[in-house]
Chains A and B, each alone.
Chain A
């Protein structure tokens, strides 16, 4: 059962990593706009649609 300390330790490391990512994402303004990201992905920025080369 003592292996749970290893698992908790590693899980906490992962959790802390995600926490850091979360704080980073907030600080860099990832979530300041929660409307356009959903719409933006619908647009393709393809220049010339057909560059056919098989």
Chain B
């Protein structure tokens, strides 16, 4: 009896499911209505033009920066174009303006076509466009002015950070609503890449830019020291991963098959490498902090994940290249494919180099040297730049209904650009190797072979020259590209909208009526499990994190004290001038570094550093133990003109620090902000901060006067000297006490 029932139930079920399948076939098949709709090319054109404009601008800024290495005097005493200020301008312009706009170009073109529906909201698309360009404009104004939060690739100050979040979310909403309104049930792999890009960038941007505003354009990171460094490189590495890699892979999966008219080599591989890539990438950040004060286990975690990354990365590269199987003859003729092939090859090279550089032995050599900019530019010039240009060379003839104006010129662009990449990267690899060798070289007597850091700088002068030539070549190619695309557009006539047809997407699952709302999740044990886990994690994070954050502010080294008000002001000038772009504040525990700079850096020394200023490049020497190394007058002369103390130095002079009065109007607010972040100043200290500041400034000024340098105590240089003389001294004081 019971058995019969079971059998009957099973039969019933079978019947029901066949019925459902029939219905599905009917709906999805002939009976579905064909709908007509329009793709909007106008928004694509806007982003494409912005890509070209900001590409040229970003490269020009980069070239200026490169020339400052060769001819430091071109700086001409202008504060706004010193390397420290235009380096963030260059990186932000290339990453967010050039590559960012190229991503939007490709996404706004490919996504509607992949989903067979126009973008959900034209208004949001336009808001995305104009908002993004406004942010770029704001960056172009504020960064040269020195409004700078010091975090690499996240230098923009808090009001702009908020604007970025708003515009980015608008983009995301538009994207998800488009996906929900799609007429193609299957989500092509490119869409997956776009989704992961949106989600992860939103998360990274918000967490890394958690900062406490002091004034309209000044804020302090809520994290300090080691914590701040870890968050920064969790962001920094994943900005590369989810802004410069995943969206471009999405574009690759659309535009390479389209341009070659071949399906992607393996759709299955694309799925596997997508999920593997996004899972592994997020953990790799600490490889930027090997041998620093970050705990070893976190460093090792970063290394392990970085090495694993080669598999999904190369999966993507091979899938891209092999898509051209059987079409290699066309690579000879079609400049679009030429650009794509070099781009994907460059991706393969830099994702091989990445895991290698993440091993401790190679990182010990390459970190802080010019090797790293070379590595980055293989990715930037090769992968991002050439993908963008290949895509634009394909898109312009499509959207303007014609042929490319000059294939010859596009080929010229390709070859000049490729030469440019080589001339950029090879000298910098050489320079990096030379630098590292000289830094580490000891004589037979056991002393540093090149004790004067300056020797290791002047040695590289020819390489810096070659690098500028490489940049010039690449820029020349890009200008040819702009002319060619402009002529292509002029020759054709713009197809503003394209009408397309597709059947509507049937609703697949019909919910039984009158069911209690919670039933749907009960049918789905896996989702239920995930949702409850999410709920638990949220609770845990919210409860635990503040506890940890507060606890972390307890200093672990008793002699490490908060900065004085004058030192804080000096530190803010250091940040404004972008000193951290050329000087690290992190001495690694190597004999060569300890002998050159002093005792290696410890985590406890940075507990009051909001934000951290560890830096990632040593164009100049490390500064963490600079304090008390030279007299005040040395710094005075060095900042006025580095040639006075260090002949041959490529550091720019900072004459304006001697003219500008120190602005102390925000000093009390700054102290209060630091107190809020947990820096233990006495209660009410902000009231006497300016008095203390003036007292310390007068001491330094009178000391300088005694040494024969007449200077008013209220100039910025005084604050700068105060900060530089404080660096790394807290622990020295402790050593002296121990000796006594």
Contacts and interface: CB of A to CB of B under 8 A. Distances in A.
A48 B495 CA distance: 11
Nearest to B41: A51
Given A48-B499, A51-B499, A6 B283 contact: no
A18 B278 contact: yes
B551 interface: yes
B230 A3 contact: yes
Interface string B491-517: 001111111111000001000000000
A10 B282 CA distance: 10
B603 A1 contact: yes
A42 B258 contact: yes
B709 to A, nearest CB: 43
B558 interface: no
Interface string B286-301: 0000000011001000
The A interface, classified by DSSP as helix, strand, loop or mixed, is helix
Nearest to B501: A47
Interface residues of A, number: 46
Contacts, number: 146
Interface string A10-54: 111111111111110100101101110111111011111111111
A50 B263 CA distance: 26
Interface string B184-208: 0111110010011001100100010
Contacts of A28: 185, 508
B282 A15 contact: yes
Contacts of B527: 20, 23
Given A14-B200, A15-B279, A38 B534 contact: no
B571 interface: no
Contacts of B498: 46, 49, 51
A16 B534 contact: yes
Given A1-B294, A4-B230, A50-B401, A30 B499 contact: no
Contacts of A23: 526-527, 530
Contacts of B526: 23
Given A41-B114, A41-B258, A52-B401, A34 B499 contact: no
B495 A51 contact: yes
Interface stretch (B542-550, B642-650, B685-693): B542-550
Given A18-B196, A21-B195, A41-B258, A10 B203 contact: yes
A16 B499 contact: no
B446 interface: no
Interface in B268-308: 268, 271, 275, 278-279, 282-283, 294-295, 298
Nearest to B301: A4
Contacts of A21: 195
A30 B186 contact: yes
A15 B530 CA distance: 11
A35 B263 CA distance: 9
Given A5-B548, A6-B545, A13-B537, 12 more contacts: A3-B227, A6-B549, A7-B234, A14-B199, A14-B200, A22-B275, A23-B530, A38-B264, A41-B258, A42-B262, A45-B116, A52-B401
16 contacts: A3-B549, A6-B541, A9-B537, A9-B540, A11-B283, A13-B534, A14-B282, A16-B533, A18-B278, A22-B275, A46-B498, A47-B36, A51-B496, A52-B493, A52-B495, A54-B496
Among all A-B residue pairs, the 9 with the closest Cβ atoms: A2-B548, A38-B263, A9-B541, A3-B227, A38-B267, A47-B499, A34-B268, A34-B267, A39-B263
